[in-house]
Amino acid sequence: MARRALTENVVKLTRQAVTDARVEPGQGERTVWDAEVRGLGLRVRASGSKTWVIRPPRSGGRSKLFTFGTADTLSLAQARQGALSRLAQAQLGDDPHEVRKAARAAARATLGTLIKDYLPVAKARLKPRSYENVERALERQLVKLHERPASELTRSEIYKELVAIGGYAGNRARSALSGLYAWAIGAGRVETNPVIGVNKVVEERSREHVISDADLFAIWQAAGDADAGRITKLLLLTGQRRNEVAGMRWSELDLKGAVWTIPGERTKNKRPHDVPLSKPALEVITAVPKTEGRDFVFGTGKKGFSGHGQAKRRLGARTKDVPAWRGHDLRRTLATRLADLGVAPHVVEAVLNHVSGSKAGIAGVYNRATYATEKRAALDLWASHVLALGKPRLEVVAPDPAALGGELQDLGTLTTGDKAP
């Protein structure tokens, strides 16, 4: 009976036929099937409404009708095109009903929902410090966008929030949001990344700031003996990265041998790194009281030191006459001044744990042992330089040039005439 009814209602639809389609007296509704696109129908109701439907090919039972528009909004040509696309999807195994449900779910998914699903993935992929920055940007700094459908966010909305965050933090938030959308596209949650094309809040240039001796002395004097100050002093004395120093563990320290071994999981290049500790660096570390059962040297609780931003602002308030600087500038300054003092470039790289081509592969194993003496001599020389900053004359005793891996300059030309800041 159904087959006969279907056959009887199959006609080659035309624009006029769509306009003239009516139900028979006493009928609630009827469906007129198109002879040109098999599976496309026009459902007509007694109320006068006309809806386009398709009946996908059967696969294990009677298929359901799928509605996708009205005759008022979709022309016959548009309906045929849409039907062909959806019927092709069905032939490939994609149920149009499930496709629609997924599309509706995606449209309902808010940015906050995506963030909740993305953060565990980001935590597994990123280093702890990088993850903390991403989490802060997505969960706190961009909180005003959380209720917006993720697929509907516009570039103007995003840029407005980034500007409100401001400066380099706005740029970091932009990167975090773009990373979220890149993951969401790969997971099939959204189709596009609206962050692409959004301007940075500020243009960033590679920094070349080398801190002067006078300013280094001012920073050293203002640092103090709290955790933040000790970290600043160790950044200056060792040239290591902030998160490496702030996350220092007692178990990484050989105080008798005066060596700090940073494990590979805590270094940027994933290689373990031995840092010879000068006498001043040892004095800074050993002045920190140990807490029983806690391996971290700095900070409190289960993690290392946090609160760098607040600590830097306080230190900045005590060094108002010092041009703006960052923690990483201390590392750059050490590298630059070691070169000025005659330390060979490959030894400076070894101090900083930079891996050049000559240190890659098996050669790196031997270089690590070979440069231990040179690294210690370089950092001892630098510590002597730092401690002499406040003296009327800067007198640096040059160690054996061979120990530094290169020829030293005439240190007298570097020290004469230097006055106390």
- Domain parsing of the chain, residue ranges: 2-99, 109-186, 213-415
Higher pLDDT: 42 or 73? It is: 42
CATH number of 2-99: 3.30.160.390
CB hemisphere CA count around 82 (13 angstroms): 20
Q: Name the DSSP class of 133.
A: H
| pTM reported for the whole predicted model | 0.50
**pLDDT tens profile 240-259:** 998 899 899 999 999 999 99
Higher pLDDT, 63 or 413: 63
379: left (phi over 0), alpha (psi -120 to 50) or beta: alpha
Sequence-ordered alpha helix ranges (H) in 10-92: 15-20, 76-91
How far apart (Å, rounded) are the C-alpha atoms in residues 237 and 59? 73
d(CA 385, CA 379): 10
Number of helices and strands (H, E) in the chain?
18, 8
Write down the CATH number for the domain with range 213-415. Answer: 1.10.443.10
One DSSP character per residue, 285-320 reads HHTSPP-TT--BSSSSTTSS---HHHHHHHHHHHTT
Nearest residue to 349 (alpha-carbon basis) of 248, 271, 278, 253: 271
CATH class, 109-186 region: mainly alpha
Give yes or no for residue 198 having a pLDDT over 80.
Answer: yes
The pLDDT score that the predictor gives to residue 402 is 58
Q: What is the pLDDT of residue 123?
A: 92
Exposure string for 316-335, b = 16+ CB within 10 A, e = fewer:
eeebeebeebebebbbbbbb
Tens-digit pLDDT profile for residues 122-168: 999 888 878 999 999 999 999 999 999 998 899 999 999 999 998 88
At residue 233 the predicted structure's pLDDT band, cuts being 50, 70 and 90, is very high
Of the ranges 191-200, 348-357, 388-397, which one carries the lowest mean pLDDT score?
Answer: 388-397
Question: Is the confidence at residue 87, as pLDDT, over 50?
Answer: yes
404, 374 Cβ separation under 8 angstroms: yes
Report the percentage of the chain scoring pLDDT > 70. 80
Instruction: Please give the Cα distance from 281 to 334 (Å, whole number).
Output: 14
- Torsion sign, CA atoms 247, 248, 250, 252: positive
For residue 1, what pLDDT is reported? 42
Residues 126, 369: Cα–Cα separation, whole Å: 30
Structure confidence at residue 416 as a pLDDT band (50, 70, 90): very low
Query: Which amino acid belongs to residue 292?
Result: E
DSSP state of 31: E
Per-residue confidence (pLDDT) for residue 174, from 0 to 100 = 95
